[in-house]
Amino acid sequence: MTELCLCFDSRGKNMMLASYGPQEVGGDYIWYPIFYDVDTQLGLNNSGSYLWDYDADVTIDGIFSTATSVLWNNLYDIFYNNIVEMYRNLRGGEVTPQNRQGGKLNYTNIIGAYECDPNVYDSYAMRGVRPIIAIGLDEYYKFFATTATSGIGYFDTEGRHQYEDTPTYAYCCQGDKKLTTELLLRNRLNYLDSQWLAGSYTAAAVVIGGLEMRMTLNNASKTSDNYLNLSDEEIAANGLTGYVHGDYPVKYFDAQPGVVIRPFLKQYITYFMDEIPVTPKKFNDTPEEQNGIRTNIIDDVMTSYKNKTGLNDQIVKVPGTDYISSLGDLSISYVTRMNFSGGKRLLDFNLGSDVPGYKNTAFDID
């Protein structure tokens, strides 16, 4: 939760580990983190200044004020796989058309906690204009409460309408604090999901909101590619015949497995090649990445694509398509069949080409 919600004081001086001891004789100790003074969240410091955005790699880059915390760094190093697995489990659950949010760690529940929503807290004491208790009221004022002019505020236990007037928050110039919080949480969840292959970035989630396509490589009878990126030495060493050097995009089309992805936001780029996930690679929106980036599958898989002629039906799954703006030039990937859902931020989609000599007679679309 500290990684997700950017609770940067809760990594060192505002965190303790506690155990209630074994629940049975000879049992294991189960340790729990106890957070307190949680006034630094969602990119804000304790004075309300906006320090971190949704794409912060807080532990990897050591950017928190408690980056040298021995307690947290040891936990992260030793239990990294467990942290990622727990995040996936909390974000998971069976993703279906009726259950697109998956597990309990979802946007609705998180934003409901910041809104002091009694349905999220599941507490009758939170209900009404004068609740008996106000769990998270500090978070409400800091991240949601706006000015008296807007008419939005909160009733205190005396029935008085309370507001917070904070005209100096420059980061709210495109909206109010509520909108800023909502955008950061949505973007932060997408960012961590893309990095840790959770939520909508799993192979199973592609069925609900993603792109699944089949590719035919090195099949000159159906496509226009005769050569798959081999050097003369590789051709000779493998005893291959009939391979012609591609001269893309004029003479031949040099087939490329996989995709070049440009995301709508800063995030990690990933896809699945025959159920094998590529190593996620961070997209930083630099000038060099203007057209997107390609992540590579493991070398031995790529070698098999290069050496085997008539390689049919390579399945590529691209998750998280609602946050993709471009998939590059898919004409050189020779898509033969496709199922596509999502893509509401997609700006271009190139499946074929008008270059003389280009053909892909195996294409079929759903």
Provide the percentage of residues in the chain whose pLDDT is more than 70.
65
Q: What is the pLDDT of residues 171-218, one digit of tens each?
A: 445 556 677 788 889 999 999 999 999 988 988 888 777 899 888 776
Assess if residue 322 is contained within a domain.
Answer: yes
What is the three-class DSSP state of 109?
Answer: helix
Domain count of the chain? 2
Angle at 52 between CA 49 and CA 56, to 5 degrees: 170
Segment 44-59 mean pLDDT: 79
Q: What is the pLDDT of residues 270-307, one digit of tens each?
A: 888 877 888 889 998 888 888 888 776 666 666 666 56
Segment 139-156 mean pLDDT: 55
Q: What pLDDT, on the 0 to 100 scale, is given for residue 324?
A: 93
Same domain, 174 and 99: yes
156 pLDDT exceeds 60?
no
Segment 222-251 mean pLDDT: 63
117 pLDDT exceeds 80?
no
pLDDT band at 168 (very low <50, low <70, confident <90, very high): very low
Same domain, 271 and 303: yes
Assess if residue 298 is contained within a domain.
Answer: yes
Q: What pLDDT, on the 0 to 100 scale, is given for residue 311?
A: 63
Q: What's the CA gap between 144 and 181, in Å, rounded?
A: 8
Same domain, 263 and 301: yes
Q: What is the pLDDT of residues 98-108, one digit of tens each?
A: 555 568 888 88
Q: What's the CA gap between 247 and 228, in Å, rounded?
A: 11
Q: What pLDDT, on the 0 to 100 scale, is given for residue 267?
A: 93
Segment 127-153 mean pLDDT: 59
Q: Which of 172, 199, 226 is where one domain is finished?
A: 199
Range of the domain at 306: 206-365
Same domain, 240 and 308: yes
Same domain, 220 and 190: no
Provide the percentage of residues in the chain whose pLDDT is more than 90.
12
Q: Which of 199, 214, 249 is where one domain is finished?
A: 199
Q: What pLDDT, on the 0 to 100 scale, is given for residue 196?
A: 93
Q: What pLDDT, on the 0 to 100 scale, is given for residue 189?
A: 94
Same domain, 348 and 217: yes
Same domain, 98 and 42: yes
89 pLDDT exceeds 60?
yes
Assess if residue 2 is contained within a domain.
Answer: no
DSSP string for 198-257: -GGGSTTTHHHHEEEEEEEES-TTTBS----S--HHHHHHTT--S-----TTTS-----S
pLDDT band at 167 (very low <50, low <70, confident <90, very high): very low
Q: What's the CA gap between 136 and 177, in Å, rounded?
A: 16
Same domain, 87 and 120: yes
| Weakest mean pLDDT among 35-39, 88-92, 330-334 | 35-39
